Amino acid sequence: MLKVETEREEDGRWIAEVAALPGVMTYGATRAEAVSKAEALARRVLAGRVEHGEAVPELEVRLTGK
């Protein structure tokens, strides 16, 4: 299971992160945009792992945060 954590920055931007995949952190003008970008980046990271024969965690997206 991959969890997308979100938080709103002081400047109004939203940040979305998948802690289980280091480096998967994105910003967006809205929460939905940040989550969408994080999901897309997570899929690219997972695809790269599959291509290189690396372990891939189960994929179930769950939102948390403010």
The mean per-residue pLDDT over the stretch 31-43 comes to: 96
Q: 46-62 pLDDT, tens per residue?
A: 999 888 888 777 655 56
Domain ranges of the chain: 2-65
Under 8 Å between Cβ of 4 and 59? no
Are 24 and 46 contacting, i.e. CB atoms less than 8 angstroms apart?
Answer: no
Mean pLDDT of 29-50: 94
Q: In what order do the strands lie in the sheet with 14-18?
A: 25-28, 14-18, 2-8, 61-65
Closest-CA residue to 3 (of 45, 44, 64)? 64
**CATH class held by domain 2-65:** alpha beta
- When pLDDT is averaged across residues 25-32 and rounded to a whole number, the result is 98
Strand, coil or helix: 27: strand
